[in-house]
Amino acid sequence: MAIKLKELAGKEERLVPGHRLCAGCAESIIIRQIVNAIEEPVVIATATGCLEVASSVYPWTSWRVPWIHSAFENASTTAAGAEAMYRSLVRQGKIEDKDIKFLAFGGDGATYDIGLQWISGTFERGHKVIYVCLNNEAYMNTGIQRSSATPLGASTTTSPAGKVIPGKTQWRKPLTRIMAAHDIPYVAQASPHRWRDLMEKARKAVEADGPAFINVISPCPRGWRHDSSMSVEVAKMAVETCYWPLYEVRNGTEWTLNYKPREKKPVADWLKMQGRFRHLFTPQFEHVVEELQAKVDEEWERLLTLCGE
């Protein structure tokens, strides 16, 4: 079903203003796009992180749907438990089947690192849960520490650029491929700047007959060191350089590329937009830019092959 702006304009918001997310944070943009794409009732579990802290400062909340927070690592299991209980009560005839959709949101720390085994277990058991990673590439809520989503060369408080290291010394974990390897019905990568693509992927995720996973790049002005007005442009450049390709995978085998830039821009164009990479444009560390470009090229060519391009 095509996403129509006129219909969206008249919908009641499920995440309303008043949250404490930073100016320019992409997370609220992503959340609104996803939940507004879903027609059915939703139940949402959120991992500890920026979104949870900023949207639920007691005694206020910005959520207008049933919402659960339990711990940093287990949003996926919390959503899975709610989904299992719902299905059981429907089978017993104790409640009406309203086709409720169960979502879990987590940052990259809660997804790539702390909650990985919980997500894997949820997917292995086949729970009909959609897990969304709000990927801002570090532990932003607790002080901009590196995570396994943080790219090579990024300066964080636990991988600080200086005389010894050029920021983080490892490449990021290929989490979207890891999730696709679970052979679940639907996996995708998305970006908030291509809102229609993201919203259509949210609909495909809730229509899937089983678990689904969406990894969304989420620029963070505070941690990425860019102006708060530039978040969407930074996300767009990540896609135009093929640092963050847009694609989807069905059942672990059917790979589809959703967007191919007419002209693949150098990854340096994306790096220059962010202060966390400023040190790479010095004689001491300029070789890291070449390493980054080589890794992006390698992953892009791998993806083209998987997608039959």
Cα end-to-end distance, the chain, whole Å: 26
Contact 264, 285 (CB under 8 A): no
Torsion over CA of 78, 25, 146 and 286, rounded to 10 degrees? 150
Q: Residue 135 and residue 112: Cα distance in Å, rounded?
A: 9
Q: Residue 134 and residue 107: Cα distance in Å, rounded?
A: 5
pLDDT at 12: 85
Which residues are within 8 A (CB) of 258 and not within 5 positions of it... i.e. 6 or more apart? 197, 246, 247, 248
Torsion over CA of 172, 240, 219 and 177, rounded to 10 degrees? -40
Q: Residue 199 and residue 35: Cα distance in Å, rounded?
A: 8
Cβ neighbours of 222 (radius 10 Å): 16
- pLDDT tens string 131-164: 999 999 999 999 999 999 999 999 999 999 999 9
Per-residue tokens: 138 = 């570090």
User: Of all residues in the chain, what percent carry a pLDDT higher than 70?
Assistant: 100
Strands 186-190 and 247-250, sheet pairing: antiparallel
How is the chain split into domains, by residue range? 12-306
Rg of the chain over Cα atoms, rounded to whole angstroms, equals: 19
Question: Is the confidence at residue 289, as pLDDT, over 80?
Answer: yes
Q: Residue 7 and residue 230: Cα distance in Å, rounded?
A: 27
Q: Give Cα separations from 188 to 6, 175, 205, 279 (angstroms).
A: 26, 11, 9, 32
Which residue type, as a one-letter code, is found at position 261?
A: P
The residue count for the chain: 309
Per-residue tokens: 20 = 């404490």
Cβ neighbours of 184 (radius 10 Å): 22
- pLDDT tens string 84-118: 999 999 999 999 999 999 999 999 999 999 999 99
- pLDDT tens string 218-237: 999 999 999 999 999 999 99
Per-residue tokens: 175 = 């989490």
| The CATH classification of domain 12-306, taken from the options 3.30.300.350, 3.40.50.970, 3.40.630.30, 3.30.70.260 | 3.40.50.970
pLDDT at 178: 98
The pTM assigned to this predicted structure is 0.96
- pLDDT tens string 2-50: 777 777 777 889 999 889 999 999 999 999 999 999 999 999 999 999 9
Per-residue tokens: 180 = 């696709």
CA 231 to chain centroid, in Å, comes to 14
pLDDT at 1: 59
Q: Residue 248 and residue 189: Cα distance in Å, rounded?
A: 6
Helix, coil or strand: residue 276: helix
Question: Is the confidence at residue 303, as pLDDT, over 80?
Answer: yes
